[in-house]
Amino acid sequence: MKKRYLSAAFAVLALAAVTSCAATSTTRSSGQYLDDKTISAKVKAGLIGDPVVKADQIDVSTYKGVVQLSGFVNSEAAIRKAGEIARDTKGVISVKNDLLLRNTAP
């Protein structure tokens, strides 16, 4: 009988340990969080390496593989190119390009 309680307690602890790191529809697992950070870093590196895009004007965030680009850029070409770079990055599921054209009028 004591062995049965011990087995049940172990099963409950194991289940709690597994589900505490699991993702839900509104949260990410530890692995997903790290994957998203890696994707953001790769997108940012691609933006830095491109002569059309001014990477310091663009914020990159990733949630479950969906990349969001935000900020103000100087041209339509920069908006398009930043979106292309993000879409072409490994691990990206989709891109939400919220970049806005900077008003250059005096």
**Using an 8 Å Cβ cutoff, are 95 and 69 in contact?**
yes
Report the alpha-carbon distance of residue 3 to residue 22 in Å, rounded.
29
Q: Mind listing the pLDDT tens digit for each residue in 45-98?
A: 999 999 989 889 999 999 999 999 999 999 999 999 999 999 999 999 999 999
Sign of the Cα pseudo-torsion (46, 51, 56, 60, in order): negative
Q: Mind listing the pLDDT tens digit for each residue in 1-30?
A: 555 555 555 555 655 555 555 555 567 788
Quick one: pLDDT at residue 30? 82
**Using an 8 Å Cβ cutoff, are 52 and 81 in contact?**
yes
Residue 59, domain extent: 25-101
Give the number of domains in the chain: 1
Residue 10 forms part of a structural domain: no
**Using an 8 Å Cβ cutoff, are 79 and 101 in contact?**
yes
CATH of the domain at 95: 3.30.1340
Distances (CA, A) of 78 to 11, 49, 71: 54, 13, 11
Cβ neighbors of 91 (< 8 A, separation 6 or more) are 35, 38, 39, 42, 65
